[in-house]
């Protein structure tokens, strides 16, 4: 069973495998990565850095200069698809179990019958039935189930299913706050409480159902740390949830200020922010179109030609995110400051212009393609 510490190493979006994946094709992916590394492509260096544990802090030059075998490429490919090792990926392809059915919602992939029963009671809003089951089987509240091959929710406890994030049914029972309280009374770990708070704060279903605030209040009442959720909520654009978390004591750091467009607060916090925070602040300011904050970060020396950091859509650059959202003023500013328009994201292989085209941002796409044709990058 994977630990929470290992779970958190998967911070870059993964490429979800299609049904009936072919192992030979995956082997070719590893060989292609070897070739891309030899060609010194920046997206290859970034992919290796994000998914190979030996290169987590390495710069591009170190990635390109270090010994790198086919087994290293295979490990990188496996982890980029959400598996801890090549052996685990190989088993998934060759000997799949119910838990490997990635096309199914998570509750249908649970192999443990008692845990599956608990999730069924949760989804039905049967608070009394769930309370009785947890009294009879108290270990259920701390048990984790293993899901591999997707972006997150890889080793959830029962509590984490209350967030409906990832989406399984597209709705929550009307008494979900009561159901969550039943599980919290049974004593889940603090890690589970913090993870659930993050899932609630970044999820759309709780917001649509109008229970985000009540679930945040309940989880914080039971000791969940609002600081564990405030930056993820900011990055994912759940800014009402960010404000709720602040009301419950979450700190406003330079990333949160950049995401919300709080220019004065950002200016004050940026003076003492760590380099990693400023890096993420550039990513979110570009994503949400806060031109003044982007300009301030560039003036302070932030490099527009870096992939976003872990936790900030790390498969793309600030230019990709600004183009996707159609923030033309930010796009122009980044290009004027030297942002490379030929860099491709590491998940879909698209340039910023491709991202703008995908989102229907015609004016941004035309600007990027004409600027690229003019030789700006």
Token pair for 324: 């996707």
Tell me: pLDDT of 26 over 70: yes
Tell me: pLDDT of 10 over 70: no
Question: Residue 218: its pLDDT value, please?
Answer: 98
Q: Is 330 exposed, middle or buried (0-12, 13-18, 19+ CB in 10 A)?
A: buried
Question: Residue 12: its pLDDT value, please?
Answer: 64
Which CATH code for domain 255-373?
Answer: 1.25.40.20
Concatenated DSSP letters of 194-232: HHHHHHHHH-HHHHHTT-HHHHHHHHHHTT--GGGTHHH
Please state, in angstroms and rounded to a whole number, the distance separating the CA atoms of residues 208 and 210: 5
* Mean pLDDT, rounded, of the chain: 93
Please state, in angstroms and rounded to a whole number, the distance separating the CA atoms of residues 249 and 230: 10
Question: Residue 203: its pLDDT value, please?
Answer: 96
Q: How far is CA 232 from CA 35, 149, 259, in A?
A: 34, 21, 11
pLDDT band at 19 (very low <50, low <70, confident <90, very high): confident
Q: Which residue has the tokens 């031109």?
A: 291
pLDDT band at 8 (very low <50, low <70, confident <90, very high): very low
For residue range 73-117, list pLDDT tens digits in order.
Answer: 999 999 999 999 999 999 999 999 998 898 999 999 999 999 999
Tell me: pLDDT of 63 over 50: yes
How far from the centroid of its chain's Cα atoms is residue 284's Cα? 13
Q: What percent of the chain has pLDDT over 90?
A: 84
For residue range 329-339, list pLDDT tens digits in order.
Answer: 999 999 999 99
Question: Residue 151: its pLDDT value, please?
Answer: 82
Taking domain 106-251, whether its CATH number is 1.25.40.20 is answered by: yes
For residue range 141-179, list pLDDT tens digits in order.
Answer: 999 999 998 888 989 999 999 999 999 999 999 999 999
Q: What percent of the chain has pLDDT over 70?
A: 96
Please state, in angstroms and rounded to a whole number, the distance separating the CA atoms of residues 203 and 157: 17
Question: Residue 7: its pLDDT value, please?
Answer: 36
* Contacts (Cβ under 8 Å, ≥6 apart) of 39: none
Question: Residue 11: its pLDDT value, please?
Answer: 53
User: What does pTM read for this prediction?
Assistant: 0.87
Q: Is 178 exposed, middle or buried (0-12, 13-18, 19+ CB in 10 A)?
A: middle
DSSP label at 162?
A: G
Token pair for 232: 């993820």
Please state, in angstroms and rounded to a whole number, the distance separating the CA atoms of residues 149 and 373: 39
**CA trace torsion 199, 171, 137, 155 (10° rounding):** -40
Element (H, E) at 192: helix 190-202
Token pair for 83: 């598996």
Domain residue limits, the chain: 4-96, 106-251, 255-373
């Amino acid at each position: 069973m994977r630990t929470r510490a290992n779970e958190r190493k998967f911070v870059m979006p993964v490429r979800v495998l299609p049904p009936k994946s072919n192992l030979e094709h995956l082997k070719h992916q590893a060989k292609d990565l070897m070739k891309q590394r030899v060609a010194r492509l920046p997206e290859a260096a970034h992919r290796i850095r994000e998914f190979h544990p030996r290169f987590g802090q390495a710069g591009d030059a170190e990635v390109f200069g270090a010994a790198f075998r086919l087994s290293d490429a295979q490990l990188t490919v496996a982890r980029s698809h959400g598996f801890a090792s090549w052996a685990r990926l190989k088993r998934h392809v060759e000997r799949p179990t119910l838990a490997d059915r990635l096309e199914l919602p998570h509750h249908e992939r649970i192999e443990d019958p008692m845990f599956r029963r608990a999730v069924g009671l949760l989804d039905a809003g049967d608070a009394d039935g769930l309370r009785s089951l947890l009294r009879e089987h108290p270990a259920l509240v701390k048990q984790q189930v293993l899901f591999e091959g997707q972006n997150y929710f890889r080793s959830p406890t029962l509590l984490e299913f209350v967030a409906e994030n990832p989406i399984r049914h597209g709705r929550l029972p009307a008494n979900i706050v009561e159901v969550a309280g039943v599980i919290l009374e049974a004593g889940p770990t603090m890690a589970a409480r913090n993870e659930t708070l993050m899932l609630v704060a970044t999820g759309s279903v709780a917001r649509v159902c109008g229970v985000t605030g009540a679930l945040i209040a309940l989880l914080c009442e039971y000791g969940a740390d609002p600081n564990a959720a405030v930056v993820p909520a900011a990055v994912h654009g759940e800014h009402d949830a960010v404000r709720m978390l602040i009301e419950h004591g979450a700190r406003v750091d330079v990333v949160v200020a950049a995401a919300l467009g709080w220019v004065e607060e950002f200016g004050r916090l940026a003076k003492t922010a760590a380099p990693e925070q400023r890096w993420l602040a550039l990513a979110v300011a570009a994503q949400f179109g806060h031109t003044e904050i982007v300009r301030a970060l560039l003036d302070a020396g932030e490099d527009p030609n870096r992939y976003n950091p872990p936790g900030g859509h790390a498969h793309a650059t600030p230019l990709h995110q600004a183009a996707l959202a159609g923030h033309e003023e930010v796009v122009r500013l980044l290009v004027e400051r030297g942002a490379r328009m030929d860099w491709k994201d590491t998940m879909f292989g698209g340039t910023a212009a491709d991202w703008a085209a995908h989102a229907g941002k015609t004016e941004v796409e035309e600007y990027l393609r004409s600027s690229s044709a003019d030789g700006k990058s």
